[in-house]
Amino acid sequence: QSALTQSASVSGSPGQAITISCTGTSSDAGSYKVVSWYQQYPGKAPKLMIFEGSKRPSGVSHRFSGSTSGNTASLTISGLQAEDEAEYYCCSYIISWSLDVVFGGGTKLTVL
Amino acid sequence: EVQLLESGGDLVQPGGSLRLSCAASGFTFSSYSMSWVRQAPGKGLEWVSVISGSGGSTYYGESVKGRFTISRDNSKNTLYLQMNSLRAEDTAVYYCAKIPFRGVIYFDSWGQGTLVTVSS
């Protein structure tokens, strides 16, 4: 059973930088393709923030950045703002004889 | 502007069936793979299914395989999810989402979701 593990919560003060990690626990570590990241406010649909590990869609603030090292992907938010308080999910997939898409459990970001 | 509008969510009894729809606009619907992603109350996101632009290829998560069927009508710019043998654990908000490129899986546009409640 493959999974993506995220810490349940993270917090930071306005202006600070925080990092959310997403670790693959697949027995086939490395078989999962690159990660995307989504922001979700309560009661709202998710929004794509990062794709292919480090690329930002147009319209997403430059304060959001993504990186990958080994089987861990990271989302960094710099210059934290109150509006960044939300749930963040990582997502990856594997294409072998079929397709499997997996989301991390989500990380609640609290801006103090 | 891409718009995805889900409908069809309802209260249904365990063992029942339901069909969700997702009306798409603002892009060439037939050129893009589409997906359903769900979220149980208070829980995280769970991938449900993907369908290719032509409809010729479909994929399912393990928890819905054999019970749910994804399909699309490109003449109507509409994505569907037929859900059979529904269980309490299928209770969730169901989102449709657009996949921007072939060969990669991520979701660049999402609908607002439709709530499915499975309960007696």
Q: Along chain B (120 residues), what's the average pLDDT of each consecutive run of 10 residues?
A: 97 98 98 98 97 95 97 98 98 98 92 98
* B50 contacts A101? CB cut-off 8 A: yes
Distance from CA of A77 to the nearest CA of B (A): 20
Contact A17, A78 (CB under 8 A): yes
Position A87 confidence tier, pLDDT thresholds 50, 70, 90? very high
Q: What is the pLDDT of residue A21?
A: 94
Note whether B40 contacts A: Cβ–Cβ < 8 A.
no
Nearest partner of B113 among B1, B14, B36, judged by Cα: B36
Query: What would the mean pLDDT of A77-99 be, rounded to a whole number?
Result: 93
Looking at the predicted structure, is the pLDDT value of residue A1 above 50?
no
Mutation to test the A interface, candidates B101, B105, B108, B112, most A Cβ within 10 Å: B105
Report the C-alpha gap between B118 and A9 in whole angstroms.
30
Q: Distance (Å, rounded) from C-alpha A14 to C-alpha A111?
A: 7
Nearest to A39 by CA among B82, B110, B4: B110
Q: Which amino acid is at B32?
A: Y
The shortest CB-CB distance from A45 to any of B44, B50, B113 is to B113
Please return the burial class of A85, using the count of CB atoms within 10 Å of its CB with bins 0-12, 13-18 and 19+. middle
In three-state secondary structure terms, B42 is coil
pLDDT digit string, tens, across residues A20-64: 999 987 554 445 668 999 999 999 999 999 999 999 999 999 999
State residue A33's pLDDT score: 64
Closest CB to B105 among A45, A93, A105:
A93
Give DSSP secondary structure letters for chain A: ---EEE-SEEEE-TT--EEEEEEE--TTTT-S---EEEEE-TTS--EEEEBTTTB--TTS-TTEEEEEETTEEEEEE-S--GGG-EEEEEEEEEESSSEEEEE---EEEEE-
Residue among A95, A100, A101, A102 with most chain B CBs within 10 A, to mutate: A101
Is the pLDDT higher at A51 or at A98?
A: A51
Query: What are A's interface residues with B at a Cβ cutoff of 8 A?
Result: 33, 36, 38, 40, 44-48, 51-52, 57, 89, 91, 93, 95, 98-106
pLDDT score of A97? 77
Whole-number pLDDT of residue B102: 84
Q: Do B107 and A57 touch (CB under 8 A)?
A: no
Ranges of beta strands (E only) in chain B are: 3-7, 11-12, 18-25, 34-39, 45-51, 58-60, 68-73, 78-83, 92-98, 109-110, 114-118
* Residue A32, pLDDT score: 61
CA-based nearest distance B42→chain A, Å: 9
Helix (H, G, I), strand (E, B) or coil at B62: coil
Q: Which positions in chain A touch B61 (Cβ < 8 Å)? A: 100-101
Smallest CA-to-CA distance from A71 within A25, A36, A38, A106 is with A25
